[in-house]
Structures are given as C-alpha cells and as structure tokens.
C-alpha cells in the first residue's frame, strides 16, 4: 500500500465513509422525490389548467383551482406516496464498503460535478441569451399574471384575439404565471432567473437515475430476476462483477454526471440541439420537454427494462410524464408517445411479454386524449 493511500485510509475511515454514504443516499432519495414531485406538479397543473383555458376562464379562478388541486394531491401523497417511493435504486451502494482512497476519489468526483453544476447555474442566472420566442411565451405569462388573461390576446401587440388552440393545450406559460402569483415575483424574473435553478438540477437528477438503472445491469449480464436482486445486494468491495471494477463502480455516477454537465456546457453546436435549448431557452416549454421530460422518459424506460414489468409507481410517473410533455408543448403530445411507445414495443419483445406492451399502452391514454383534442381543435 503506498504512503498516500495509508494517509487517505487514516483520514477517511470506513466508519466515516459509511456514515457519509448513508447521508448521501438520503440526499439522493430526497432529490429523487423532488424530481418526481416536479413531474407530478406539472401533470396536475395540466389537468386543471386546460379546461380553464378552453372555456375562457381567468387567472384568478385558475390560481384557486390549481392551489386546491395541489393541496389535495399533497395530502394524498402524504398518505400513500411516501411508502411506495422505490428505494432499490440506491440500495446497491449501501452494502458496499469503501476504502479511504475510494472514498477520497468519490468526494473528488462529486466535488467536480457540484462545481460544474454551480458554474452552470451561475451562468444561467447572470447571462441573458436572446431568443425571439420569449416575445410570445414570456408575454403569455405576463398577460396572465398582470391582467388575468388566458391566451386571449395577441402576445406581440396586446390586441384581443380568439383562442389559439395550438398553444392553448400547452399551458407551461400559465404554470410560470401561477408560480409568479404564488410568490409575487414578476414572471420574467421567475422564468429567466429562478426556474433555471430548478429545471437544470432536475434534468441531471433524471439523467442520474437513468444511469443508475442502466448500471443495475453491471452486477449481472442476465435479465433481471429476484436472484439478480440478491446478487446486487451482496456485492462486496474487491469483487469485480459485471463489467465494472470496484473503482469503476465508485466513479460511475459522479463521472457520468460530470460528462452530462460538460455536454450541456459544450453542446451549443447549433441552435437546434438539446443542450442549446437547456442553456438558452431553459424556461420555455420546448426546452423542458427536450431536457427534463425526455430525461425522465429515459429513466422510466430504463426502469421498465430492468424490472420487466410496469410497476404502479412507474405507471403513475409515466402518466405524469405524458401529461407534463403535453403541458410543455403540443409537440410533446406526439413526441413522447412516439419515443416511449416505440421503445416500449422493443422492451416487450426483449422481455417476451405482451402484458408489458399493454401496460405501457394504457399509460399512454392521457397522451392520446390530448392528441385527439389537438386534432379536433
């Protein structure tokens, strides 16, 4: 053992490492819950807001209805949601012991990621990328916030108009207006300076969860089963299993997130990329779809692929993802089912299970309803 390693082992004892790891796992569960709550919030708002927009309601009524819906959802989740939040994604690492050097490596990598994330959030707040579409979407939020109007004025001029059905089904600007009303902050400030601090980390949480689900396969190259779950739980330090070494297992999640962060920071190769939307149009529904919602769909597909079945929690989140996609942009009504449905069919063949296909098709029903509404309107 080299001298440096001895020093690190002395500094970072297994007891310290284990305690820190448990804290980190608790933080991870909280972040996971926060990300799921974000999806649920968008889904609930979509269900409440679209009828108001279609019948010509005003913002005061919408604020009351949405607040009531959120309050009801909060109490329901307190009762039944907490118990069902899956713990298995994080349980693998809890049984592993870390040597001093591995723990130091882990701290270093997480430190790099957190620095990069803070840098990205700092830039998001202090830089003002110009996008012409803000003259539409932010103005819709401001109109709803100041004058209580729901898609009934031309945003570019302020003159009255009939309902623009194409945009009316995607009420993300109204969600911004709702948040602004709740905390009495101007929608432009809410969208440009506050929401990126939420949307960017949530995107990384979903990417991290997706990576962990893919990583679950590292302990076994076979299809998931109860035996596999036991193998996962009994992994010990020093054993190589699957494709990753012990160091690889330690470094995987923070290293993965560092690379995701770099792809955001260096992804602006054209105005069309997902990274460009994340950086320059974070607060627009299109960007939320391209980043948060599609990342959540990736996670859910990875989870379904590993589980071999659509569990209740997964089904609920999938429905929330579909509704959130519809809230973000009308294109989300078609893009998300195309992505999830297409991959879902492949997963059904992979697991040789038509039940899986049927479960995923049932989850897509809300998207189908909004799709029909879009075509009718």
Partner 1 sequence: MESFPIQVLRAYEGEGHLALLYFAAVAFLFLKEKDRLSRLLLVYCPVCFFLLFLIPLNSKAYARLFEGETYYRLLWLLPMSLTIAYAGMRLIKKTPVFSIGIAALLIILSGSYAYQPGPYMFAAENPYHIPQDVVEVCEAILPENGDLVCAVFPDEMLHFVRQYSSRIIMPYGREAIVTSWGADNPFHRLMLEGGMETGELSVTAKGYNCNYIILHADQQFQEPMEDYGYVVHKNINGYTIWRDTTIQWPN
Q: Which of 339, 333, 342, 336 is nearest to 370 (CA)?
A: 333
Per CB under 8 A, the segment of 13-21, 26-34, 57-65, 295-303 that binds partner 1 is: 295-303
Binding of partner 1 by 331 (CB under 8 A): yes
Q: Between 73 and 228, whose beta carbon lies closer to partner 1?
A: 228
Among 207, 171, 188, residue whose Cα is nearest residue 290: 207
Question: From the CB of 77, what's the least distance to partner 1, in Å?
Answer: 28
- By CB under 8 A, is residue 231 in contact with partner 1? no
Do residues 151 and 139 make contact, with C-beta atoms less than 8 angstroms apart?
A: no
**Interactions with partner 1, residue window 168-227 (CB under 8 A):** 186, 188-189, 192-193, 207, 210-211, 214, 217-218, 221, 223
Binding of partner 1 at residue 138 (CB under 8 A)? Answer: yes
Q: Is residue 266 at the binding interface for partner 1, with CB under 8 A as the rule?
A: yes
Contact with partner 1 (CB under 8 A): which of 13, 280, 341, 373?
280
Cβ-based neighbours of 270, under 8 Å, separated by 6 or more: 276
Q: CA neighbours within 13 Å on the CB side: how many for 62?
A: 33
Nearer to partner 1, 39 or 212 (CB): 212
What whole-number distance in Å separates Cα of residue 34 and Cα of residue 202?
8
> Can you tell me the distance from the alpha carbon of 187 to that of 236, in angstroms, rounded to the nearest whole number?
51
Closest CA to 82 of 13, 29, 149: 29
Q: x/- binding map, residues 52-81, to partner 1, per CB under 8 A?
A: ------------------------------
By CB under 8 A, name the one of 153, 235, 296, 348 that touches partner 1.
153
- Under the binding rule (CB under 8 A), the answer on residue 284 touching partner 1 is no
Q: Tell me: does residue 357 bind partner 1 (CB under 8 A).
A: no
Q: What length does the chain have?
A: 377
Q: Would you count residue 155 as binding partner 1 (CB under 8 A)?
A: yes
Binding to partner 1 by residue 147, rule CB under 8 A?
A: yes
Cβ nearer to partner 1, comparing 275 with 359: 275
Stretch that binds partner 1, among 26-34, 41-49, 64-72, 254-262 (CB under 8 A): 254-262
CA distance 270 to 297: 24
How far is Cα 161 from Cα 219, in angstroms, rounded to an integer? Answer: 59
Beta bridge partners of 160: 153
């Amino acid at each position: 053992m080299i001298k440096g390693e001895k020093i690190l082992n002395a500094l970072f004892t297994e007891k310290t490492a284990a305690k820190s790891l448990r804290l980190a796992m608790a933080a991870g569960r909280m972040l996971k819950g926060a990300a799921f709550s974000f999806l649920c919030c968008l889904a609930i708002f979509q269900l409440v807001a679209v009828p108001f927009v279609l019948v010509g309601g005003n913002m005061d009524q919408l604020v009351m209805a949405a607040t009531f819906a959120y309050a009801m959802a909060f109490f329901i989740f307190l009762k039944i949601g907490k118990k069902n939040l899956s713990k298995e994604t994080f349980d693998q690492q809890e049984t592993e012991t870390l040597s001093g050097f591995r723990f130091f490596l882990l701290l270093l990598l997480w430190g790099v990621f957190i620095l990069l994330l803070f840098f990205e959030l700092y830039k998001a707040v202090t830089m003002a990328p110009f996008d012409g579409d803000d003259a539409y979407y932010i103005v819709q939020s401001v109109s709803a916030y100041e004058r209580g109007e729901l898609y009934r004025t031309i945003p570019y001029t302020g003159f009255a108009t009939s309902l623009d059905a194409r945009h009316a089904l995607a009420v993300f600007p109204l969600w911004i207006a709702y948040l602004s009303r709740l905390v009495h902050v101007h929608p432009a400030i809410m969208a440009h300076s506050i929401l990126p601090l939420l949307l960017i980390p949530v995107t990384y949480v979903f990417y991290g969860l997706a990576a962990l689900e893919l990583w679950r396969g590292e302990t076994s190259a076979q299809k998931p089963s109860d035996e596999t779950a036991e193998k996962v739980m009994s992994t010990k330090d020093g054993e190589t299993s699957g494709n990753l070494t012990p160091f690889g297992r330690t470094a995987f999640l923070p290293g993965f997130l560092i690379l995701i962060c770099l792809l955001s920071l260096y992804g602006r190769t054209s105005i069309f990329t997902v990274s460009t939307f994340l950086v320059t149009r974070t607060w627009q529904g299109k960007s939320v779809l391209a980043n948060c919602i599609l990342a959540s769909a990736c996670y859910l597909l990875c989870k379904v692929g590993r589980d071999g079945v659509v569990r209740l929690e997964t089904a609920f989140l999938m429905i929330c993802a579909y509704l959130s996609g519809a809230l973000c942009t009308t294109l989300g009504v078609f893009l998300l089912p195309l992505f999830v449905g297409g991959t879902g069919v492949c997963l059904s063949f992979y697991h040789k299970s038509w039940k899986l296909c049927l479960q995923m098709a049932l989850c897509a029903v809300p998207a189908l309803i909004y799709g029909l509404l879009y075509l009718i309107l």
